[in-house]
């Protein structure tokens, strides 16, 4: 017989096992999970892992997770988690129902710290936004230089001619 508890303890991927139904209290967490969130297993057992999620508590990600839990479906969500020391990390949270005879008996959670990837994505998005702003600025300048100014100058010259004709009494009939 495989001693799964021993296996989980030696896995370097954070893992948790929780109750099948709300409030889905934690029944087991491995050392990697404790290292990630900064709490000891004694502090986490019996706690709803949702308490570690971002505040305010009613976010779209939390609603999506709750819907998946209610339907006993696999879930992958990006959420902001809090550590014991108050710091935060972006968590790609994988939740998987463990079923027996088509009935959920546990949830297995595997949080993945993707903070660095989120930061890179945010930096890349900022570059795209800056490029778009620069492009809009260049397009705006082109429009002003190639359309607005020539149109204004043409109208201005025409208005000057019409004014001169009016004051000199010259008209084109």
| pLDDT band at residue 12 using 50, 70 and 90 as cut-offs | very high
Residue 89 three-state SS: strand
**Which range has highest mean pLDDT (17-26, 38-47, 115-124, 144-153)?**
38-47
Please tell me the distance from the alpha carbon of residue 60 to that of residue 77, in angstroms, as a whole number. Answer: 10
Given a cut of 60, whether residue 65 has pLDDT beyond it is: yes
In this predicted structure, what is the pLDDT of residue 141?
Answer: 79
Contact predicate 86/37, CB 8 Å: no
* Phi, psi of 29, deg, nearest 5: -140, 145
Give the confidence band of 5 by pLDDT, cuts at 50, 70, 90: confident
At 87, phi and psi to the nearest 5? -70, 165
Residue 144 is predicted with a pLDDT of: 77
pLDDT score of 156: 74
- The per-residue pLDDT for 100 is 94
CA 29 to chain centre: 26
């Amino acid at each position: 017989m495989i001693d799964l508890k021993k296996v989980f303890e030696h896995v370097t991927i954070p893992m948790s096992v929780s109750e099948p139904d709300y409030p889905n209290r934690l029944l087991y967490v491995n050392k990697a999970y404790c290292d990630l969130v900064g709490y000891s297993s004694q502090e986490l057992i019996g706690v709803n892992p949702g308490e570690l999620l971002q505040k305010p508590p009613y976010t779209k990600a939390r609603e999506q997770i709750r819907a998946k839990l209610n339907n006993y479906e696999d879930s992958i969500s990006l959420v902001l988690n809090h550590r014991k020391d108050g710091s935060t990390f972006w968590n790609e949270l994988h939740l998987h129902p463990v079923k027996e005879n088509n009935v959920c008996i546990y949830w297995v959670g595997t949080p993945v710290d993707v903070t660095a990837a989120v930061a890179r994505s945010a930096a890349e998005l900022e570059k795209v936004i800056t490029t778009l702003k620069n492009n809009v600025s260049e397009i705006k300048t082109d429009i002003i230089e190639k359309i607005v100014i020539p149109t204004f100058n043409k109208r201005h010259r025409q208005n000057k001619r019409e004014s001169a004709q009016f004051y000199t009494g010259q008209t084109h009939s």
